[in-house]
Amino acid sequence: VRLSPPKYNWSCSAKLLFFFSFFLQGTNLASTATHLSASMGSLSQTAVDSEEDEESQREELIRRHFVTRISELNAQLQEADSRSANFYAECRALQKHLNHSSESRNKLTAELQHSSETITQLQDQLTTTSDSYEKQLSAMSDHLCELNDKILRQA
């Protein structure tokens, strides 16, 4: 039969006490054995009580450990929930900002396209107007030269 560590320690302590008292006191072996048996009975009862106390203490330590661990995990869960809510709110704000920026970009792109078309039309008008003025000036210059030649011939 193998004893549990606390019982084994009590048993070894009792044997050691027995041999120590036997050699020191010089009493007979029978009275010492009787005394030792009585001591062992009380020691084994103490060992059982001690073992029960140890078991209840161990259970209490385990219970406290798990209660503490559950509290820590709950705190971590609440922190994670809080962080996720903050990230979600930040993502929603960024999404709104992105949508607004996209709308603004599209609007500005349309305005740029319209402005480019307007500039192209104005450049075409300027070119046409310049060509027309040049033709008119050339025609006027030719007409003035003809009138000048006519005046010179008449004079």
Residue 97 pLDDT class (50, 70, 90 cuts): very high
Written as one string, the DSSP assignment of 5-56 is: HHHHHHHHHHHHHHHHHHHHH---HHHHHHHHHHHHHHHHHHHHHHHHHHHH
Comparing 6-15, 64-73, 84-93, 119-128, which segment has the lowest mean pLDDT?
Answer: 6-15
> Band of the pLDDT at 105, cuts 50, 70, 90?
very high
Tokens 């103490």, residue? Answer: 46
Res 116: pLDDT: 97
Specify the amino acid at residue 46. T
Lookup result for tokens 């030649």: 149
Two tokens, residue 7: 């019982």
pLDDT of residue 53: 83
Contact 36/14 with Cβ under 8 angstroms?
Answer: yes
End-to-end CA distance of the chain: 158
Q: What is the pLDDT of residue 136?
A: 96
- pLDDT tens per residue across span 116-133: 999 999 999 999 999 999
Whether the pLDDT of residue 12 is over 80: the answer is: no
Q: Report how many helices (DSSP H) and strands (DSSP E) the chain contains, helices first.
A: 2, 0
Instruction: Decide if pLDDT at 114 tops 60.
Output: yes
**Higher local confidence (pLDDT), 35 or 109:** 109
Q: What is the mean pLDDT of residues 67-92?
A: 94
1 vs 24, higher pLDDT: 24
